[in-house]
Amino acid sequence: MSARPNAVATAASSASSDSSAVSDSSSDSSACSGSADPACAAPLPVLGRDVTVPLVTGGEVTYAALDYAASAPALQRVWDDVAAYAPYYGSVHRGAGYLSQLSTDLFESSRVTVAEFLDCRPDDQVVFTRSTTDSLNLLAAVIPADCEVFVFETEHHASLLPWSDARVTYLNAPRTPAEAVRTLEHALAGRDPYGPALVCVTGASNVTGELWPVKELAAAAHAHGARIVLDAAQLAPHHPVSVRDLDVDWVAFSGHKLYAPFGSGVLAGRADWLQEAEPYLAGGGASRKVARRADGGVDVDWHTTAARHEAGSPNVIGVYSIASACKALTEAGFDRLVAREQQLVARVREGLAEVPQVKVLSLFGDDAPRVGVISFVVEGWNSSHFAAALSAEYGIGVRDGLFCAHPLVRTLLGTDPQDPGECGAPEAEPGERSLNAIRVSFGAGTPDEHVERFVRAVRELVADGAKWTYHTEDGRCVPAV
């Protein structure tokens, strides 16, 4: 079935037009100088852009969401598309009714949209999952039993931890992109040349934002008979990702980082290991035929399509939201989005460089290309205390901690991996070391004012200190009442 109800099609078209209109009218950031419009200069409008939050010092301010690396706000386009579809929601792949057929068509057309967004090869499969973490755990469940896995210690835990049932080689943090390639080549040269191997690497660090040499790492992997999976959770929202051009075997990403907050993810790439393995989840949808045997057991004929690993009723709204976000980003134009984001990156880095007490964390150095993700520490401040003050006194939401990348942050902070963490209270015990940092992250929905407010807040907090007293409550640093 290919036709959609007019209400759904019209609303989706309207959302697309509205997004384009906002993008066109806000492309000149100079027009926003002094403007109080919270959406000013943001290429793509997002939900929450007009939400106000109370300040502990009194009054309210428009919330500055600068934690995109954890979960990006929903695009208005995505929300409108989902709202238009919601009345037509039905079961997928199971029903003969019109709404079920409509939902099935929407689900499968979303698969095509994602494949186009990723520039997949004709034989690649797009499997819908719950998240990047789920995607990589799925891949870990289907790799051959004798597979050897190579992963840098710099990975997010979603990429670092799923391989416990395989032979894993953890590679030390490289200090340049070229060193990353050399480190991988050296490790692969020492492996069994006849056995299967898999390399797992991020496209953009969730801690430093730095871009990794994915294409070169893929070439190194293939030269040594290994396959490679790209964790694109932080890359896909900021840069175009081409499976063909990068020559990766699989790519994984999450909807909630791609402005599509409904609990879905993607694993896309080669089909052979996926087809040969037992289903990730056993159940309805994964099976084509189930029959009782004479001995009392059952015989199962599993699907060989993506459905093999999509058992159960799928999250059609989550899947459709990913497809909507893919279309919105594509239509907005990545060249334009990247250029504008790099202006924000430069402004944040320039602002932080003006404060001597601030140290920006980096693996590859100041000149390394990066997405809108920057982590730093402030001399004389516990990072959780600083983040709490940004929130309570300036209405700015950032992230503090180790960012689910503990080995990497510990390496960047120069701390012993065995050092105990600290809850973030400003009144830390004497001699206790802080093992946390502050991360600011932004994207296509970030207005200039949010970045300018952040830079000003850092400068003021370092120069004047917090205006409020903070203490630890349930493991978090919060304003004292």
Q: How far does Cα 204 stand from its chain's mean position? A: 9
CA distance 303 to 168: 30
H helix or E strand, kind and range, residue 477: strand 476-479
Read off the DSSP letter of residue 313: S
CA distance 342 to 340: 5
CA distance 426 to 31: 41
CA distance 334 to 88: 32
CA distance 423 to 434: 8
Strands (E), 293-450: 298-302, 358-360, 373-378, 396-397, 399-401, 437-441
Q: How far does Cα 425 stand from its chain's mean position? A: 28
Answer for the pair 256, 263: CB distance below 8 angstroms, yes or no.
yes
H helix or E strand, kind and range, residue 128: strand 125-129
- Based on its alpha-carbon atoms, the radius of gyration of the chain, rounded to whole angstroms, reads 24
**Residue 385, SS3 per DSSP:** helix
CA distance 103 to 85: 9
Strands (E), 143-208: 148-152, 167-171, 197-202
CA distance 477 to 424: 6
**404 in catalytic set:** yes
CA distance 459 to 446: 20
List all residues 6 or more positions away from 472 whose beta carbon is below 8 Å from its beta carbon.
423, 424, 425, 478
Strands (E), 1-114: 52-54, 60-62, 64-65
Strand partners, 167: 148
Answer for the pair 154, 179: CB distance below 8 angstroms, yes or no.
no
User: What tokens appear for 72 in the block?
Assistant: 């990006």
Candidate list 40, 120, 147, 404, residue with the active-site label: 404
Maximum separation of any 2 CA atoms in the chain, in Å: 80
CA distance 448 to 347: 10
Strand partners, 204: 211
Q: Which residues are catalytic?
A: 404
